[in-house]
Structure formats: structure tokens, C-alpha cells
Amino acid sequence: MARVKRGAKRRARRKKYLRRTKGFYLTKSKLYQSAQEAVNRAERYSYRDRRKKYLRRTKGFYLTKSKLYQSAQEAVNRAERYSYRDRRNKKRQYRQLWIQRIGAAARNAGMTYSQFMHGLKVAGVEIDRKVLADLAVRDAAAFSQLAKEAKAAAPLAASKA
């Protein structure tokens, strides 16, 4: 029976890495660990690709923000922070708008916003503010019907307390 050499797979893997780094600078083409790091770095992301990604995203930005890599990177990162923050602010602003619209329509019906919402809750009407605001703007008759229901249920809540 022939002798089995040890470490054949390990040696083959190392040779494969060294073949892939042929022509790399200094020890990157000679030592296994340096070659492995160089290959991993090269495969992960090339510098040019990273630059192109940022510069593509800053198309239309002012002056050097769309031309120079570092300025573009800063501009993109800042824009991402603002967009993250403002996606949450947008929800906040819409809720405020809905509350204002519902409040104005409730005052036309002869009650305050808080009385209206409390009356709806007591009456068991589960319509969210977005739909209520839409009803207040587009369908005043339906909203006045809801206001009547809220008024009818509100005195019951006051007597229980």
C-alpha cells in the first residue's frame, strides 16, 4: 500500500491562493497569509467600485459633492441620516394634519376633538384617524353621522365616571 502524504489539501489550497495573487506587490504574491488577505480584500470590494457607487448616488449634487469621493461620501451619509429621520417626521406630520382636520370637522358638529374621539371610543367605533380625516374632507354627511353617534355615547361615559 502506498504511503499517504499528509497536508495535501492544505498545500493545494495554499498554492491556489498564491496562483491567484501572481503579480501582486511584494509578499502578497509570495507568502500565504499575505496572499489570502490580498485576495479577500480584492474580492470584497474594489476601490473603484466603492467610489463609483458613491458618485452615482450624488448625481445632481452641488459642486464637489458630486465630483470628489470624500465630499460625495459625506453628502450621501448626511442625506441618508436626514432621510431616515424625515421618514419618521413624515408620519408625525400626517398624524398632526389628520388631527387638525378631524378637530375642525368636530367643531363644526358642535364638539371638541377630544370629546369626539372619546365618544367614538365609548360607542365602539374603531376607525383610525386617517380614515376619519378623509371622511371629514370628502364626505361631510358620513362624518356628521359619526359625530351624532359620538355625542350620543359621550353623556353615557360622563355619567359612569
pLDDT tens by residue, 19-77 = 888 888 888 888 888 888 888 877 776 778 889 999 999 999 999 999 999 999 999 99
Residue 1 lies in a domain: no
CA distance 118 to 25: 75
Q: What pLDDT is stored for residue 161 in this prediction?
A: 47
**CATH number of the domain to which 102 belongs:** 1.10.1900.20
Nearest partner of 135 among 118, 120, 123, judged by Cα: 120
pLDDT tens by residue, 81-140 = 999 999 999 999 999 999 999 999 999 999 999 999 999 999 999 999 999 999 999 999
Residue 3 lies in a domain: no
CA distance 67 to 61: 9
More confident site: 44 or 149: 149
More confident site: 160 or 133: 133
Residue 98 sits in the same domain as residue 116: yes
DSSP-derived secondary structure for 69-80: HHHHHHHHHHHH
Q: What's the number of domains the chain is made of?
A: 3
Domain residues for 34?
A: 8-44
Residue 2 lies in a domain: no
DSSP symbol at 68? S
Nearest partner of 138 among 130, 126, 128, judged by Cα: 130
Residue 96 sits in the same domain as residue 134: yes
Nearest partner of 132 among 93, 104, 154, 157, judged by Cα: 104
Looking up cell 380614515 gives 131
Residue 28 sits in the same domain as residue 62: no
pTM flag (> 0.85): no
Residue 101 lies in a domain: yes
CA distance 119 to 103: 13
Residue 92 sits in the same domain as residue 154: yes
Cα torsion 37, 41, 42, 43: sign: positive
Cα–chain-centroid distance for residue 20? 39
pLDDT exceeds 60 at position 157? no
Residue 77 lies in a domain: yes
